[in-house]
Amino acid sequence: MDHVSSSTLKSDLPVSTEVVQCLMEVGYVAVGRGLRSQAESVFNGVIAARPNSELPLIGLAVCKLNFGYVIDATKILVERALTLNPDSGLAKCFLAIAIKALGKGQEANDLMRQVYDITTDPAAKAMAESFLSGKDVSS
């Protein structure tokens, strides 16, 4: 790596959108199979490849949530994902799930209602609708 300039930025990683999507799927499969450290490694790699996207941060937060690290997930969503994209409906949906897991059900419902009322993201809207209707969207 001596030949790599110190001015090379993380965002310069030449990773195609298709590879990023595939890696995100691999990360979620690893979460589903209980492979926490591997999932975290995958999501951290995607974060390095796409430092200006909240989506891999959401993946990392979902990983943390699934393994019971609710406060860590909340911090990732608030301090990183929503800082990059304050309008991210998906980040807000997963934040609501984390907030509910912290025992703040009304605050979670209020956030999901806000997402449902405002978002133009169909996935976030569907997730908010399921959450508000009492369906378990966290599994």
Q: What is the pTM of this model?
A: 0.86
Q: Could you tell me if residue 26 is inside a domain?
A: yes
Mean pLDDT, residues 77-98: 98
Distance CA 122, CA 119 (A): 8
Number of domains in the chain: 1
Q: Could you tell me if residue 5 is inside a domain?
A: no
> Per-residue pLDDT tens for 51-60?
999 999 999 9
pLDDT at 120: 95
Question: Mean pLDDT score of the chain, rounded to an integer?
Answer: 90
Cα–Cα distances (Å) from 29 to 42, 94, 129, in that order, read: 11, 18, 24
Give yes or no for residue 26 having a pLDDT over 90. Answer: yes
Residue 15 belongs to domain spanning: 10-132
Which residue carries 């979620």 as its tokens? 28
Give yes or no for residue 137 having a pLDDT over 70. Answer: no
Q: Could you tell me if residue 107 is inside a domain?
A: yes
Give yes or no for residue 3 having a pLDDT over 60. Answer: no
More confident residue, 111 or 3: 111
